[in-house]
């Protein structure tokens, strides 16, 4: 039990400090783009690898509840994307080959790429039309990972690998969902009406 509560507290403190470091102009660009794609009826493709992919799936699920035409990379029912569609690419390092390659393909068909990453100068960040910088320790080597130590003032965080980025990205994207609810005039009842009913 020694590490459970310590780690939970460390993650909460980290996320709280990251909130103060977020760049409002980046968030506004993302929100404006998502609102536009919703109102125009275009598609959103969410992608990430590993645990970042699970964060992406959680975000895509909420976008579906909001009424977005949303898909997740790798699913058999995911259609082609094109001009005016939006890709949300989640990668802490911004170097995950699958995600960078997919973002390159999205750019070739003139889709808008939104990158959620800790490294705006990474290959993914440089490809993206919009970058939302989410500080967080990634699974890269410790000499490259400096965000957690810088923010928490500790030598090495308890949470392993990319946990701090992944948890922070999840909480950030949940905040995006709530902002979109208000922008689009959606209530919790509206979201519940879109929730799967065959598993109840």
Q: H or E segment at 58?
A: helix 50-66
CB 58 within 8 A of CB 171: no
Instruction: For residues 32 and 183, give the distance between their C-alpha atoms in angstroms, rounded to a whole number.
Output: 10
Chain-centroid distance, C-alpha 114? 9
CB atoms inside a 10 Å sphere around CB 18:
24
In three-state secondary structure terms, 10 is helix
Chain-centroid distance, C-alpha 156? 24
CA dihedral 141, 151, 90, 86 (to 10 degrees): -140
> Annotated catalytic, 156?
no
Residue of 166, 179, 188, 199 with catalytic role: 166
CB 151 within 8 A of CB 17: yes
Closest by CA position to 72, among listed 92, 55, 84: 55
Catalytic residues: 166
């Amino acid at each position: 039990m020694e590490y459970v509560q310590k780690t939970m507290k460390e993650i909460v403190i980290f996320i709280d400090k990251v909130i103060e470091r977020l760049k409002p102009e980046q968030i506004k660009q993302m929100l404006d783009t998502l609102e536009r794609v919703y109102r125009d009826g275009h598609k959103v493709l969410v992608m990430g690898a590993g645990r970042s992919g699970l964060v992406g799936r959680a975000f895509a699920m909420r976008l579906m509840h909001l009424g977005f035409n949303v898909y997740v990379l790798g699913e058999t029912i995911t259609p082609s994307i094109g001009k005016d569609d939006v890709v949300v690419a989640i990668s802490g390092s911004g170097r995950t080959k699958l995600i960078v390659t997919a973002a390159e393909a999205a750019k070739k068909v003139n889709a808008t790429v939104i990158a959620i990453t800790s490294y705006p100068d990474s290959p993914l960040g440089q490809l993206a039309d919009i970058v939302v910088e989410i500080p967080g320790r990634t699974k890269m080597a410790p000499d490259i990972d400096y965000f957690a130590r810088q923010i928490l003032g500790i030598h090495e965080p308890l949470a392993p690998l990319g946990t701090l980025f992944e948890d922070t990205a999840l909480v950030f994207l949940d905040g995006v969902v709530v902002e979109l609810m208000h922008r689009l005039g959606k209530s919790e009842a509206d979201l519940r009406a879109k929730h799967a009913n065959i598993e109840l």
